[in-house]
């Protein structure tokens, strides 16, 4: 079992898919010879020749050609370097990729995977800091996932490539070069979907996804030391979302629900999670959303930290919630 | 140019014209609903260009795409059914007039986003390079799409990787309701393609023979590894942008002039000395079109019980 950091796990997953599935292609801006701006796709072009290549800075052509190639039996894996860059080419996701299967009554399909990364890191400007997953969860026809561990980064990429739907896999660059972990790289490809119970405790169910999961776990562990034990459910797949696991968990935590995401609070996917639980009749009391303050994100790290849901805010929010 | 070919082209163009005119009537009667963009006057493009495409090749069109689907051989009955929202439509009524596909006939779809399909053609050609078919892809769009950034991204992408893609611009002089000449400073649209490093030519888009020959030559060069090419077909819309567009922005003088150069009038004039009854061709085609439409009208409406199917695999 190889020891891999998150970036290494993504690279290993891409390598496995390129080896196992001859229909795969991997392309995007700087992904081949330069190995990706974050080094995630390093060396793959050497081993897979014309199937891994660099492209012009043309997000619309990258996504649109992937839609076209996927219609013809290829499995393109394409990179949008920063999630913010999706915005110049959303047509190809929303009007094009998402419609292919449905409108053609399944005569055509668009099994492509878009890799991207998002979120704030110290000093990142307002156009390189956004958390945009809710744009994709709003669109029927697309799938979306946000892993936070090397194992999930590997498994989700493999599942996404094997899926016959268009899938957006959103990384967070602050995770790429974290600790190495043992990663199972030879398991059978799992169907898309699922979630992880990362902590169990009766005080409340905290749902979270993506990089902020680590901060939620840190806060939950601090609270556990203080005698407040929380359940933490990580839902790396946002579509399909594991509502069943959440609703089961709420039965064990008195229906008390907290959702934590780095994305803006208003219109964030957390609101949908809360309302689904409400509609299912599994909520009790007033739920809590912890997300970014609705704002543009300033570059100076101190300013950004004042808006984003960092470890302290999450800890304080969960503590107060559990006390009531 | 043989008389036989002239007749075949005239017949093929009448198929498109008669189909469109029937759609117009069905729309007026309330049987076809929603916005419909007719290609009346632009029939020579599909009739000439589709001959360059083989079964493995892929065509991507726009919302003004009925003629291109017919050119690819999609059955008129299933196209009528699609526009009528019938279960027997090429997409079971999900595509409608402006966004249907018929992949079994190499017609990979209309697109209701101006310029939205150009990069799909690039992808189709890219796939063809990988799967060994050497597939040629053709992206058809109007002059309006020449002001869409996505089209240039697609053209450059195809050029950089020398992909066999033909970009066909049907210049009917109107970008929806606005003259293209008012929206570009340089009216020589081919220069934009040349600047991206591909051969580009402007031809008479009202002559199916000229279109056929030009497109066939460029297709051959593209298949041989020459990369993409661009063709501007000069033509005209004899009707509005959509059914109901009263075209206040066009003069009677202009419309009268267009009627003299439109492809069916030109083809009939060419056959004038041949002794053929060109009127009989029109009548035969209209009868067949009528049969297809009547059959589609009698078909069951799209199946509501299946409306949630095929969203995901």
DSSP state of B241: S
Contacts of B144 (CB under 8 A, 6+ apart): B114, B174, B175, B176, B180
Mean pLDDT, range B207-227, rounded to an integer: 98
Q: Establish if A189 belongs to a structural domain.
A: no
Specify the CATH number for the domain of residue A11: 3.40.50.970
Q: Establish if A293 belongs to a structural domain.
A: yes
Nearest CB neighbour to A72, from listed B91, B127, B313: B127
Whether a cis peptide bond, with omega within 30° of 0, leads into B47 is no
Q: What is the pLDDT of residues A145-189, one digit of tens each?
A: 999 999 999 999 999 999 999 999 999 999 999 999 999 999 999
Q: Are residues A213 and A156 in the same domain?
A: no
Q: Are residues A154 and A292 in the same domain?
A: no
Mean pLDDT, range B143-162, rounded to an integer: 98
| The pLDDT of residue B129 | 96
Q: Which of A143, A158, A182 is the last residue of a domain?
A: A182
| Inter-residue contact A124 to A299 (CB < 8 Å) | yes
Q: What is the pLDDT of residues B82-113, one digit of tens each?
A: 999 999 999 999 999 999 999 999 999 999 99
Where chain A has pLDDT below 50, the residues are none
Name every chain A residue with its beta carbon within 8 A of the beta carbon of B127. 68-69, 71-74
Q: Are residues A31 and A150 in the same domain?
A: yes
Specify the CATH number for the domain of residue B104: 3.40.50.970
Q: Is B20 exposed, middle or buried (0-12, 13-18, 19+ CB in 10 A)?
A: buried
Q: Are residues A250 and A137 in the same domain?
A: no
Q: Which of residues 47-86 of B touch A (CB under 8 A)?
A: 58, 60
Specify the CATH number for the domain of residue A242: 3.40.50.920
Query: Residue A46 is part of which domain span?
Result: 3-182
Q: Are residues A201 and A301 in the same domain?
A: yes
Contact yes or no for B120 and A96 at CB 8 A: yes
C-alpha A322/C-alpha A258 separation (Å) is 10
| Inter-residue contact B140 to A115 (CB < 8 Å) | no
Secondary structure class of B35 (helix, strand, coil):
coil
Q: Establish if B237 belongs to a structural domain.
A: yes
Q: Are residues A29 and A137 in the same domain?
A: yes
Contact yes or no for A74 and B126 at CB 8 A: yes
Contact yes or no for B119 and A140 at CB 8 A: no
Total number of domains in chain B: 1
| The pLDDT of residue B17 | 98
Query: Which residue of chain B is at minimal alpha-carbon distance from A91?
Result: B116
A14, two tokens = 């891409």
Taking alpha carbons only, the member of B83, B89, B96, B99 closest to residue B22 is B83
| The pLDDT of residue A49 | 85
| The pLDDT of residue A324 | 84
Q: What are the two backbone dihedrals, phi and then psi, of residue A196, each rounded to the nearest 5 degrees?
A: -130, 130
Contact yes or no for B104 and A25 at CB 8 A: no
Torsion over CA: A134, A135, A138, A139 (sign): negative
Q: Is A214 a catalytic residue?
A: no
| Inter-residue contact B8 to B209 (CB < 8 Å) | no
Query: Residue B69 is part of which domain span?
Result: 3-297
Unique residue bearing structure tokens 């799409």: B145
CB pairs under 8 A between A and B: 150
DSSP state of A191: P
Q: Is B277 exposed, middle or buried (0-12, 13-18, 19+ CB in 10 A)?
A: exposed
Nearest CA of chain A to the CA of B59: how many Å? Answer: 11
Q: Which of A120, A153, A182 is the last residue of a domain?
A: A182
C-alpha B293/C-alpha B190 separation (Å) is 39
Helix axis angle, A269-279 relative to A243-252, nearest 10°? 60
Q: What is the pLDDT of residues B14-62, one digit of tens each?
A: 999 999 999 999 999 999 999 999 999 999 999 999 999 999 999 999 9
DSSP state of B228: -
Q: Establish if B305 belongs to a structural domain.
A: no
Distances in Å between the Cα of B252 and the Cα atoms of A83, B248, B249 are: 51, 10, 10
Distances in Å between the Cα of B58 and the Cα atoms of B122, B139, B201 are: 10, 9, 21
Concatenating the DSSP letter of every residue in A106-168 gives: TSS----EEEEEES--TT--GGG----HHHHHTSTT-EEE---SHHHHHHHHHHHHHSSS-EE
| Inter-residue contact A200 to A231 (CB < 8 Å) | yes
Taking alpha carbons only, the member of A243, A319, A235, A51 closest to residue A161 is A51
Q: Establish if B256 belongs to a structural domain.
A: yes
Check if B156 contacts A (Cβ < 8 Å): yes
Concatenating the DSSP letter of every residue in A24-46 gives: EEEEETT-STT--TTSTTTTHHH
C-alpha B20/C-alpha B187 separation (Å) is 30
Q: Establish if A188 belongs to a structural domain.
A: no
Nearest CB neighbour to B119, from listed A68, A99, A163: A68
Q: Are residues A292 and A221 in the same domain?
A: yes
Q: Are residues A135 and A234 in the same domain?
A: no
Question: Apex CA B203: angle with CA B126 and CA B216, to 5°?
Answer: 45
C-alpha B71/C-alpha B9 separation (Å) is 11
C-alpha A185/C-alpha B187 separation (Å) is 57
Q: Establish if B308 belongs to a structural domain.
A: no
Q: Establish if B311 belongs to a structural domain.
A: no
Q: What is the pLDDT of residues B164-211, one digit of tens each?
A: 999 999 999 999 999 999 999 999 999 999 999 999 999 999 999 999
Task: List the single best residue of A18, A55, A72 to mutate versus B (max B Cβ within 10 A).
Answer: A72
Backbone Cα Rg of chain B: 19
Total number of domains in chain A: 2
Q: Which of A119, A152, A182 is the last residue of a domain?
A: A182
Contact yes or no for A68 and B120 at CB 8 A: yes
Q: What are the two backbone dihedrals, phi and then psi, of residue A323, each rounded to the nearest 5 degrees?
A: -80, -15
Q: Is the pLDDT of residue B1 over 90?
A: no
Q: Which of residues 96-125 of B touch A (CB under 8 A)?
A: 99-101, 103-104, 108-109, 111-113, 116, 118-125
């Amino acid at each position: 079992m190889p020891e891999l950091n998150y970036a290494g796990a993504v690279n290993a997953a891409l390598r496995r898919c390129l080896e196992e599935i001859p229909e795969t292609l991997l392309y995007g801006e700087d992904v081949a010879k330069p190995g990706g701006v974050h080094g995630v796709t390093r060396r793959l072009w050497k081993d897979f020749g014309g199937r891994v290549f660099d492209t012009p800075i043309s997000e619309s052509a990258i996504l649109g050609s992937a839609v076209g190639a996927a219609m013809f039996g290829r499995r393109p894996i394409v990179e949008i370097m920063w999630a913010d860059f999706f915005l110049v080419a959303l047509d190809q996701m929303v009007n094009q990729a998402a419609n292919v299967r449905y409108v053609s009554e399944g005569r055509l399909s668009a099994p492509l995977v878009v890799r991207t990364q998002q979120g704030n890191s110290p000093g990142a400007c307002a156009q390189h800091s956004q958390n945009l997953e809710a744009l994709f969860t709003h669109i029927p026809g697309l799938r979306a996932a946000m892993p936070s561990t090397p194992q999930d980064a590997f498994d989700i990429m493999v599942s996404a490539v094997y899926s016959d739907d268009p899938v957006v896999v959103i990384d967070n660059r602050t995770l790429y070069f974290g600790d190495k972990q043992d990663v199972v790289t030879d398991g059978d490809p799992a169907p898309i979907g699922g979630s992880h119970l990362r902590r169990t405790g009766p005080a409340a169910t905290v749902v979270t996804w993506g990089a902020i999961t680590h901060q939620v776990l840190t806060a939950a562990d601090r609270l556990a030391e203080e005698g407040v034990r929380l359940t933490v459910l990580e839902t790396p797949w946002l579509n399909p979302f594991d509502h069943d696991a959440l609703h089961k968990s709420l039965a064990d935590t008195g229906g008390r629900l907290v959702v934590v995401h780095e994305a803006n609070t208003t219109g964030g996917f957390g609101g949908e999670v809360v309302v689904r639980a409400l509609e299912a009749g599994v909520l009790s009391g007033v739920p809590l959303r912890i997300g970014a303050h609705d704002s543009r994100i300033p570059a100076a790290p101190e300013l950004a930290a004042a808006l984003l849901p960092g470890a302290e805010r999450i800890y304080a929010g969960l503590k107060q919630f559990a006390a009531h | 140019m043989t008389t036989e070919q002239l007749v075949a082209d005239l017949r093929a163009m009448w198929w498109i014209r008669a189909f469109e005119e029937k759609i117009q009537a069905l729309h007026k009667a309330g049987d076809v609903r929603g916005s419909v963009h007719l290609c009346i006057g632009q029939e020579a493009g599909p009739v000439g260009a589709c001959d360059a495409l083989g079964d493995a090749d892929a065509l991507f069109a726009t919302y003004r795409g009925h003629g291109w689907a017919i050119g690819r051989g999609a059955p008129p009955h299933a196209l009528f059914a699609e526009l009528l929202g019938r279960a027997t439509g090429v997409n079971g009524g999900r595509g409608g007039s402006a966004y249907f596909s018929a992949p079994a006939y190499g017609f990979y779809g209309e697109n209701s986003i101006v310029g939205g399909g150009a990069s799909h053609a690039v992808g189709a050609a890219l796939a063809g390079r990988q799967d060994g078919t050497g597939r040629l892809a053709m992206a058809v769009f109007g002059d309006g799409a020449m002001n869409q950034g996505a089209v240039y991204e697609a053209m450059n992408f195809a050029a950089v990787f020398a992909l066999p893609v033909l970009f066909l611009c049907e210049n009917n002089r109107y970008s929806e309701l606005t003259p293209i000449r008012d929206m570009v400073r340089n009216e020589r649209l081919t220069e934009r393609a040349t600047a991206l490093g591909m051969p580009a030519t402007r031809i008479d888009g009202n002559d199916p023979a000229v279109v056929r020959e030009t497109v066939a030559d460029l297709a051959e060069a593209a298949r041989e590894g020459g990369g993409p090419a661009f063709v501007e077909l000069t033509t005209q819309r004899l009707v509005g942008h959509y059914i109901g567009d009263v075209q206040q922005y066009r003069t009677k003088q202009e419309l009268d002039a267009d009627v003299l150069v439109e492809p069916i009038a030109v083809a009939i004039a060419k056959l004038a000395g041949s002794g053929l009854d060109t009127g009989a061709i029109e009548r035969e085609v209209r009868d067949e079109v009528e049969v297809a439409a009547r059959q589609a009208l009698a078909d069951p409406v799209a199946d509501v019980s299946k409306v949630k199917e095929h969203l995901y695999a």
